[in-house]
């Protein structure tokens, strides 16, 4: 590995059993980062509570899982720093009126990453509230901070350490054998960001070591070479295909597209098709999880087309396509005719603009939201009009922990039994989700007023799909109906626009033009 700007995590003895090595590593992270590396890495010292609360699958009609994405922890974040320093440095002069200082828990609507304190309170809140009732967790990537600050370049060692740190936080809550965490590789989980080649290599080796407690041992070799894997949650009933979307991502110049059989993207599509075919033949259901969502301008053209046709072909066994990266709360549809039915959202998605300009300050967060809303409305109208002649599969994007807008996470409910007529849906059918958010503006103001270092704000319930959108379940058919209703109902459209940018009011009234 290359040189690191900070010490590596402490090693644990090889004589310790594999499972406990990572737990002990997490414990040592908490102890060591508060002392040895305090000057460069001010990590918290209250990390671990071992082991996670037991939580097994049952035959109850429904189970629950968590979708969390884009943590982007940044140990260089400084309370009181300026926005134009990416929250890394204080103003040179205390009376500098042009420098807006940032709060303790993060800077909403900015290009800053997540402070350690935000990660702290997120996991503390999960422990107090949702953790004990979860069957599994989907973490759709990006543990590491962005590579935006030229004065603080990242290294492979730092990216790996940030992944190990985030993994230790999950391990403090979720026993690998009881509540599995399925992680996927994000475009900022590699160094340089966006660029990735097949392994074995130090990058994939480091990521595997960070997440190995949650990666099935029979998937180790596949992960070390390709960074994707599958996790069986309920044998013969439900599994997760954890994609490495870097093989599809058009910003990854290190690989080709999906045109040739030896392209990593093409190999991943063959692997995914094998999983879907086997599920179809055995009656199992599949949840697809990934980081960068399948959007035309984010994927190589050949990868986008092949992926779209594949998920539409096997839509009967795919219970969800859950992605992160975009930070916005929205959904859209993939079609078997991938060219004519794709959403036209070019240059409207925030992460595309940011990732292309990570080394440039002053990227406008506000740009994109109104345009995206307008394009989504056009997309929904086209899809509804063609629903009888075109087959679709829905894609869901969850907002993020990083305060691009406001920190958000999502708890899903899904079918696990069939004890009554209303539960005749297949095992794994997504029924509903509850969305929780943290109002960072209020949290920072409350901390300032109280002046107590012990103050921790709580995430709050924002909405549920069933209550807010009157959805019977989260199938493609239900989302088609919702898409139509959004285009027809201005009140519903306004609420959807507010949720899309997590209550930051950046929609600019675009819902009026639909």
Number of structural domains in the chain: 1
Assigned domain for 496 exists? yes
Domain range for 262 is 49-513
Assigned domain for 20 exists? no
Q: Percentage helix, strand, coil, to 5, in the chain?
A: 35, 15, 50
Burial of 46 (0-12, 13-18, 19+ CB in 10 A): exposed
Question: Angle at Cα 367 formed by Cα 354 and Cα 352, nearest 5°?
Answer: 30
- Predicted local confidence at residue 117, as pLDDT: 97
Mean pLDDT by 10 residues, the chain (514 residues): 36 35 40 33 37 41 95 97 95 64 93 97 98 98 96 97 98 97 98 96 98 98 98 97 98 93 97 98 98 92 95 97 95 78 41 34 46 90 91 96 96 83 79 97 93 92 97 97 96 95 82 68
Q: Prior bond to 200 cis, omega within 30?
A: yes
Backbone angles phi, psi at 287, to 5 degrees: -110, 125
Assigned domain for 4 exists? no
- Predicted local confidence at residue 371, as pLDDT: 85
Predicted structure pTM score: 0.85
Contact in structure between 83 and 110 (CB atoms under 8 Å): yes
Assigned domain for 22 exists? no
* Domain CATH number, residue 229: 3.60.21.10
- Predicted local confidence at residue 160, as pLDDT: 98
- The C-alpha atoms of residue 32 and residue 25 are separated, in whole angstroms, by 10
Burial 50-67 (b: 16+ CB within 10 A, else e): ebbeebeeeeebbbbbbb
Assigned domain for 16 exists? no
Assigned domain for 37 exists? no
- The C-alpha atoms of residue 219 and residue 227 are separated, in whole angstroms, by 10
- Predicted local confidence at residue 58, as pLDDT: 44
């Amino acid at each position: 590995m290359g040189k690191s700007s900070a010490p590596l995590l402490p090693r644990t003895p090889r004589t310790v059993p594999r499972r406990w090595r990572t737990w002990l590593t997490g414990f040592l992270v908490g102890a060591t980062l508060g002392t040895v590396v305090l000057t460069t890495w001010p990590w918290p010292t209250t990390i671990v509570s071992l082991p996670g609360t037991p939580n097994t699958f049952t035959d109850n009609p429904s189970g629950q899982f968590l979708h969390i994405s884009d943590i982007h922890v940044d140990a260089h974040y400084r309370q009181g720093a300026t926005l134009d320093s990416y929250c890394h440095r204080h103003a040179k002069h205390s009376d500098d009126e042009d420098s807006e200082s940032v709060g303790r828990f993060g800077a909403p609507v900015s290009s800053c990453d997540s402070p350690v304190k935000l990660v702290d309170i997120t996991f503390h809140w999960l422990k107090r509230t949702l953790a004990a009732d979860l069957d599994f967790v989907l973490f759709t990537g990006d543990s590491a901070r962005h590579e935006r600050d030229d004065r603080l370049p990242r290294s492979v060692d730092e990216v790996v350490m940030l992944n190990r740190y985030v993994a230790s936080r999950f391990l403090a809550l979720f026993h690998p054998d009881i509540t599995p965490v399925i992680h996927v590789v994000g475009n900022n989980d590699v160094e340089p960001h966006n660029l990735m080649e097949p392994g074995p290599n130090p990058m994939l080796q480091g990521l595997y070591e960070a997440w190995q407690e949650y990666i099935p041992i029979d998937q180790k070799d596949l992960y070390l070479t390709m960074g994707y894997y599958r996790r069986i949650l309920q044998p013969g009933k439900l599994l997760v295909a954890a994609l490495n979307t870097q093989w599809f991502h058009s910003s990854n110049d290190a690989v080709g597209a999906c045109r040739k059989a030896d392209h990593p993207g093409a190999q991943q599509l063959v692997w995914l098709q094998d999983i879907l075919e086997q599920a179809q033949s055995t009656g199992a259901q599949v949840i697809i999880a990934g980081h960068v969502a399948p959007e035309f301008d984010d994927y190589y053209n050949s990868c986008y087309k092949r992926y779209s046709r594949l998920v539409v072909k096997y839509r009967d066994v795919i219970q969800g396509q859950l992605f992160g990266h975009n930070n916005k709360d929205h959904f859209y549809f993939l079609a078997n005719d991938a060219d004519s039915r794709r959403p036209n959202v070019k240059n409207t998605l925030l992460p595309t603009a940011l990732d292309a300009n990570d080394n440039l300050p002053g990227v406008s967060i506000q740009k994109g939201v109104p345009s995206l809303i307008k394009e989504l409305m056009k997309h929904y109208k086209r899809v509804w009009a063609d629903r009888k002649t075109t087959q679709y599969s829905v894609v869901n994007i969850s907002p993020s922990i990083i305060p691009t807008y406001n920190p958000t996470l999502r708890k899903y409910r899904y079918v696990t039994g069939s004890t009554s007529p209303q539960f005749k849906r297949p095992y794994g059918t997504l029924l509903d989700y509850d969305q929780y958010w943290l109002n960072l503006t209020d949290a920072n103001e409350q901390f300032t007023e109280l002046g107590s270092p012990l103050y921790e704000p709580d995430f709050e319930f924002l909405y549920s799909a069933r209550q807010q959108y009157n959805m019977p379940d989260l199938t493609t058919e239900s989302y088609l109906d919702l898409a139509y209703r959004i285009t027809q109902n201005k009140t519903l459209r306004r609420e959807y626009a507010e949720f899309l940018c997590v209550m930051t009011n950046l929609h600019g009234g675009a819902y009026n033009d639909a």
